[in-house]
Each structure stands twice: as C-alpha cells, then as structure tokens.
Amino acid sequence: MSQEEANTSLGRKATLSENMLFGMGNPLLDISAVVDKDFLDKFGLKPNDQILAEDKHKVLFEELVKRNKVEYHAGGSTQNSVKIAQWMIQKPHKVATFFGCIGTDHFGEILKKKAEEAHVDAHYYEQNEEPTGTCAACITGDNRSLVANLAAANCYKKEKHLDLDGNWELVEKAKVYYIAGFFLTVSPESILKVAKHASDKDKIFCMNLSAPFISQFFKEPLMKVMPYVDILFGNETEAATFAKELGFETDDIAEIARKTQNLPKENTKRQRVVVFTQGKDDAVATVGEKVTMFPVVDIDQNDIVDTNGAGDSFVGGFLSALVQEHPLEECIRAGHYAANVIIKRVGCTFPEKPDFH
C-alpha cells in the first residue's frame, strides 16, 4: 500500500472490497439536447418529468438526434448512481456491481465501455431481440424532461441472468443494495429476490420512488417490496404523489417522511430511513424518531448547466458513504456534494476525481 493509499484509508471505517455495492436497473444511453418550449409542447412533455416512451414519441428521438448539439452519455438511473458511488470511492475499483439488460449493438458496446471506464463491475444480460434502451433528455433551462425508450432494458429476465450461480454469487458478496423504482416496470420478481436476501441477511436494501408514475401505476409491486426497504429515496414531487396514492392525507413533506418510515417492515433490526430531496431546498430525512432538514450546498443559479442526473448523483454520493459505514449526516453530505458537482456539467458526467473531504 502506498503512503497515499494508507492516508486515505485512515479516515475509513469499513474496508472496501470488490462487489460490496450492488445495483440493478435499466441501462440506457442518454441522448441529450437543449430544446425549446415548442418542442416540449409538440410532444406533450412537462418541463421537469420522467415518462416511458409511447408510439407517439418515436419521432421525438429522430428529431432530437437531428438537432445540432446532441450529446450521448451512459445513463439509466441506477447505473448512474452506482457509477457516481464508484467515482466517489475511487479505489478499489469494482466496489460497485451493476446488472441490467442491453442489446447486442453499437449503443450496447458504448454502455459496456463507459461502465468499464467508470470501474464499475457491470454484468449485462445481452439479447438480440431488442436494441439497447435510450433516454431522450430534453433540456430547457435548469429543467429536464426525460423520455425513456426501455427496449432491451425491459427484457431483463430473472431466470436467464440473476438466478445464474456466477451472478447470484455477486449479489451475495454485496452488503448494500440499490435499485431504482424504475425497475419495478421490468422485473419485480428480481427486485424481490434481492430485497428478501438483504432482509434475511440483515444487509441494507435501498430503493427510490424514481418518478410519480411509479407510485401511480406500479403501486402494487412497489408496496410488495416496501417491507424490505431499509432506505427509501425520492424527491418532493414523487413524495407528494406517493402520499396521495397511499391516502396519507398530508402534503407536509416531513409528515410524509414520517408516515413512510412507519410503513410495515420485515427486518425490524433496522429502522427504515426515508430521504427526500427538494432540488435547491433542504433535504428531509428521518433520523430515529425525528425528521431533520439538511441544507444543500449553495450554488449560483448561473452555474447550473443541466439538472439531469442530480437525483441519481445524490444517491450515488450517499451510497459511497453508506458502504463505508459512515453516519447518516455524512451520507447526506456526500450526496449533496456529488449532486452539486453533476449539475454543473452536461448529463450525469463527472471530473476525473472528487474533491470531497
């Protein structure tokens, strides 16, 4: 171990090893472009939203690609988060594992290459019936409207991938698990298998509300997994929709966090932690019996380039501290740091090294 490595490891509580953090979700290639309100209106998009592509959006992808400044970035909510976590951790490489489904095509190759560059141990289920999934990121000012065409991502099969001995061994190696709510539309049985494993072994299972449509249209699979969720993430809009769907009868975010924390839970050895971000406003988190506010890092509005990936990177920063067994406030501080870095850049991209202490 070099002196530098010895110094960095002094501040760590837990020894990090490969495959300690496990993520599973929809690997997508982000196609990002700045658009105007007319473009949003033409396709019936809200400025700040996430939806699944329908037939009427096919043209949207074609039009977006024709625009003058298009950027391609590896995306997909969970994949973004585990990448950011790995970036925050730096060494060792491959602390983060990622499972998801891609196509045997050019976009799939890009995703493989990008995961490798990020030092994430990605194990994709590759099939040739559907092309690799894409996500149109339509940027207006500091808003982003995301339209996901899951394609291959929707083809993930538990018995064809997760259940294979070599892959399940990687699941067993982990001690922290993270799956975005988006994956509920693809393979709830895969999520449940991982969530139950975490609960049975007293490991930490984290999930994200991800988008309003998940609580609205995938409430049943979401609530099947909820008893196994140790840490739940979401933003203010998702929290409000979730509360409405569950009949909480309150729009007070702290109260929603408290009620969510108290939903039934399998592993009673761990009290559920609920963390709701609110853009530039304080994050709200349940700490034991109380709800606490955590202010974000101040940022000049003019420095915000693109909020795409802000929520994912908050989770990524949080997970990087969590896997090192840091206390909750440290996890949130790491989350805020990561989000602050990412919103100053296009897409969910990051500089070579973090400057977080």
- pLDDT band at 306, cuts 50/70/90? low
Tell me, what's the pLDDT at 303? 81
Tell me, what's the pLDDT at 190? 98
Helix ranges, 127-264 (H): 165-173, 188-200, 212-217, 219-225, 236-245, 253-261
pLDDT exceeding 90 applies to what percent of the chain? 77
Return the active site residues. Answer: 312
Tell me, what's the pLDDT at 301? 79
pLDDT exceeding 70 applies to what percent of the chain? 94
For residue 221, CA distances in Å to 211, 281, 325 come to 14, 30, 29
Mean pLDDT of the residues in the chain: 92
What gap in Å lies between CA 158 and CA 188, rounded to an integer?
9
Burial of 269 (0-12, 13-18, 19+ CB in 10 A): exposed
Cα–Cα nearest to 123, from 96, 87, 154: 96
Contact 214, 235 (CB under 8 A): no
Each residue of 120-151: b (16+ CB within 10 Å) or e?
bbbbbbbbeebbbbbbbbbbbebebbbbbbbb
pLDDT single digits (tens) 113-161? 999 999 999 999 999 999 999 999 999 887 889 999 999 999 999 999 9
Residues near 58 by beta carbon (within 8 Å), at least 6 away in sequence:
none
- pLDDT band at 72, cuts 50/70/90? confident
Residue 3 scores a pLDDT above 70: no
> Which residue ranges form the domains of the chain, and what is each CATH number?
21-29+75-132+150-343 (3.40.1190.20)
CB atoms within 10 A of CB 44: 10
Cα–Cα nearest to 24, from 136, 189, 148, 141: 189
Give the pair of three-digit tokens for residue 9.
Answer: 């490891």
Residue 2 scores a pLDDT above 50: no
pTM of the model: 0.91
Long-range Cβ contact pairs of 2-7 (< 8 A, separation 24 or more): 5/91
Q: Please state which of the ranges 7-11, 97-101, 208-212, 344-348 shows the lowest mean pLDDT.
A: 7-11
